[in-house]
Structure 1
Amino acid sequence: MRQIPLGTQGLVVSAQGLGCMGMSAAYGSGDEQESLRTLAQALDHGVTFFDTAEVYGPFTNEELLGTAFAGKRDAVVLATKVGFQYTSNGDLAMVDGKPIVTGKPSEIRVAVEGSLRRLRTDFVDLVYLHRIDPLTPIEETIGELATLVRDGKVRTIGVSEASAITIRKAHAIHPLTAVQSEFSLFEREVERDEVLKTIRELRIGFVAYSPLGRGLLSGALTDLNQLAPDDFRRFDPRFQGGNLQANLRLVERIKEIAVARNVTPSQLAIAWTMNVGAVPIPGTKRSKYLAENIAAADLILRPDELAALNEAAPIGAATGDRYSPAMMETLGH
């Protein structure tokens, strides 16, 4: 797989990365050995960019990557995310179903130190603020991350699910290498809320998570009974009742375009995100899906195909919010 620059601070990553959350959280129980095989296979196929976060588990996903890449640190680019608070027993701290976000400099430093230990590394290639703390000035939080860069513990920094205004403020304190946001044929809000425009103007890299719409855009998921009992999608608004049926009709239109091109819907959806210059990080915890996703990195869409996809899935086409109301409150600060 080709390697490309991400942002302007010297970070080079594979054109498609691997989102690792599902190996440890959110999508049902994980299988450590299968996850380790998937990570090794991804590296063998030229994927060098691996995305994790302290909250995935919490903490266990970083430990998984630390195990997977022991002795291979120079071959991989590790990205993690910090910025949530935890209880004394290590659970995500919540109030009324909403996670507590922190951008306090002292807590950010402690979080990064923890990530370094779990990832078994002296530095992290890219550290994002997972969410923006509206109670802590972004200048203070980015200032601490900049200090960690000077200390050699962090190579580059980014933000996740931030507003265009916050992106500009953060970038003025220390150059951002990447902004990570959900982006897919189901979720195109960054195209109309000035985020994508701002990223392009400032020459910041764009990393797209959930490029497959949490699996819906694969075309294989049609019924909640296919999901594990503890899969968070059972409670995702876009997977509920009439919302699910409306979104499946949207998927059928996308499948028609994929069939005409002789590719899978997943490959078409991933390639579409790359067309805007994003680095997609589709997640999978099973090696059997990995090769299919990776093949999308070489798929170049024709203008007529892009037009057909824009017609089939225009901005705002998905039915239902992408998170619960409490989680939606953490976005866009």
Structure 2
Amino acid sequence: MLMAFLTCNSVANISCLRPSNQFTIPSSPFKPFKLPSFWPWQKVKMGPLSVSPMGFGTWAWGNQLLWGYQESMDSELQQVFNFAVENGINLFDTADSYGTGRLNGQSEKLLGKFIREFPGKKLEQSEIVIATKFAAYPWRLTPGQFVKACKASLDRLQIEQIGIGQLHWSTANYAPPQELALWGGLVAMYEKGLVQAVGVSNYGPKQLVKIHDYLKARGVPLCSAQVQFSLLSMGEEQMEIKKICDSLGIRLISYSPLGLGMLSGKYTPSNLPRGPRALLFKQILPGLEPLLSSLREIAESRRKTIPQVAINWCICKGTIPIPGIKTVKQVEENLGALGWRLSSTELLQLEDAAHESPQRMIQNIFQTK
């Protein structure tokens, strides 16, 4: 069960400085929010794109099993989207498989709707970068079928071009022949102009180098690699992936930067979340006290929250974290991870504490070597 739900997911230059850092959000009833002086308008390069130093994940937008989504939440999710964009976030990660049962693809549909109905300027709409992932379903056996999947995502999103088209996972572990169809599909999407850039998700070091070389030989740059990366997932393999990304000019996107909520500070062994996550948290949380204690200590000294410190660690490691969001409050808190940086001493303290904690996040079963 735990493995099953995990498979569902899995600074260059300052482009704008606002004259004041006190804003009232006209499209939502929430109180004014005091922003950092320039982040998140400080964009970073990701292939041909300029994106905010943090994006937001939308796995929960349509997922009933793990995140308790109901269609009655859509109006609040639209406020969440508007609030994020109005405060400088322009990167949103999704997937064609996000959504439970009949709601499959719901995340893409909602993002498309929210972009169309965004009350801001058209220029702001055009700068929004959608990074969607295409599932390696067993019936997608040819490049043409992946092009068809990309066109279906474009229909759901109602946009002319996807920012980053990503392979959701590699089939190298269980169906190696299908891998070439995946790679050929990325090339075809790019050559047809359906996507501005291409990326991968859940690729380990060896497969990452292989697909990079394959795409390079066909004149297609690999823009991004998305992997589970956090203080709970900082093993040798993750660090090797980061090293490869740095050497090849690939931007690493860190998903689950809060460990599905285990690094939020909200939960304890006696206070577990509802649903399937409780089983995982029950196994791992009891061994996280050294790490959570260090996060708490630094958060208090910085006058930040535990999630803000955990996300800032990902940013300091040179990645673009994409925490999931469902409420305006979550967006507001996550924005507090921007505009400052942990010191080298604090980074070392957190990493030492992570090594002292006997438990680690279980890895996605599709993660390759």
Give the TM-score normalised by the residue count of structure 2: 0.77
- Partner amino acid for 2:277? R
Match for residue 305 of structure 2? 264
SS in 1 for 2:262: helix
Match for residue 234 of structure 1? 278
SS in 1 for 2:199: strand
How many residue pairs get matched? 308
TM-aligned CA distance change 1:266 to 1:125, over 3 Å: same
8 A Cα contact 1:186 1:317, kept in partner? no
Q: Does 1:15 align with 2:15?
A: no
Stretch deviating more after TM superposition (277-286 or 187-196): 187-196
8 A Cα contact 2:108 2:157, kept in partner? yes
Q: Does 1:65 align with 2:135?
A: no
Match for residue 165 of structure 1? 206
Q: Distance in 1 between matches of 2:212 and 2:82?
A: 34
- Partner amino acid for 2:362? R
Match for residue 85 of structure 2? 43
**Which of 179, 184, 188 lines up with 2:230 in the alignment?**
184
Q: Distance in 2 between matches of 1:116 and 1:281?
A: 21
Residue by residue over 1:32-73, the C-alpha shift from the partner in whole angstroms, topping out at 9 and shown as x without a partner, is 111111011000100000011111102111111011101654
- Partner amino acid for 1:34? E
Stretch deviating more after TM superposition (138-147 or 205-214): 138-147
- Partner amino acid for 1:27? W
Shift of 1:233: 1.1
8 A Cα contact 2:290 2:353, kept in partner? no
Q: Distance in 2 between matches of 1:193 and 1:36?
A: 36
Residue by residue over 1:259-301, the C-alpha shift from the partner in whole angstroms, topping out at 9 and shown as x without a partner, is 1222111111111001111011111101112111112111211
Shift of 1:332: 1.6
Shift of 1:190: 5.8
8 A Cα contact 1:187 1:318, kept in partner? no
TM-aligned CA distance change 1:124 to 1:224, over 3 Å: farther
8 A Cα contact 2:204 2:237, kept in partner? no
Shift of 1:317: 4.0
TM-aligned CA distance change 1:192 to 1:34, over 3 Å: closer
**Which of 63, 77, 81 lines up with 2:129 in the alignment?**
77
**Which of 96, 100, 106 lines up with 1:54 in the alignment?**
96
8 A Cα contact 1:222 1:248, kept in partner? no
Give the TM-score normalised by the residue count of structure 1: 0.85
TM-aligned CA distance change 1:123 to 1:257, over 3 Å: same
- Partner amino acid for 1:117? D
Match for residue 2 of structure 1? 41
TM-aligned CA distance change 1:249 to 1:24, over 3 Å: farther
Q: Does 1:122 align with 2:171?
A: no
TM-aligned CA distance change 1:261 to 1:23, over 3 Å: same
Stretch deviating more after TM superposition (66-75 or 41-50): 66-75
TM-aligned CA distance change 1:329 to 1:304, over 3 Å: closer
TM-aligned CA distance change 1:133 to 1:32, over 3 Å: same
Match for residue 93 of structure 1? none
SS in 2 for 1:131: coil
Residues 109-148 of structure 1 aligned to structure 2 (within 5 Å): 109-134=147-172, 135=175, 136=177, 138-148=179-189
Gaps of 5+ in 2: 1-39
SS in 2 for 1:187: coil
8 A Cα contact 2:165 2:199, kept in partner? yes
CA RMSD of aligned residues (A): 2.2
**Which of 48, 62, 68 lines up with 1:28 in the alignment?**
68
Q: Distance in 2 between matches of 1:12 and 1:265?
A: 28
Shift of 1:250: 2.9
Q: Distance in 1 between matches of 2:265 and 2:197?
A: 36
Q: Distance in 1 between matches of 2:270 and 2:329?
A: 21
Match for residue 91 of structure 1? none
Q: Distance in 1 between matches of 2:109 and 2:53?
A: 25
Stretch deviating more after TM superposition (104-113 or 190-199): 190-199
Shift of 1:191: 5.3
8 A Cα contact 1:81 1:130, kept in partner? yes
Q: Does 1:255 align with 2:296?
A: yes
- Partner amino acid for 1:330? F
8 A Cα contact 1:66 1:119, kept in partner? yes
Shift of 1:2: 2.7
Match for residue 338 of structure 2? 297
Match for residue 329 of structure 1? 365
**Which of 252, 256, 261 lines up with 1:210 in the alignment?**
256
Shift of 1:192: 5.4
Q: Distance in 2 between matches of 1:187 and 1:52?
A: 21
- Partner amino acid for 2:78? L
Match for residue 145 of structure 2? 107
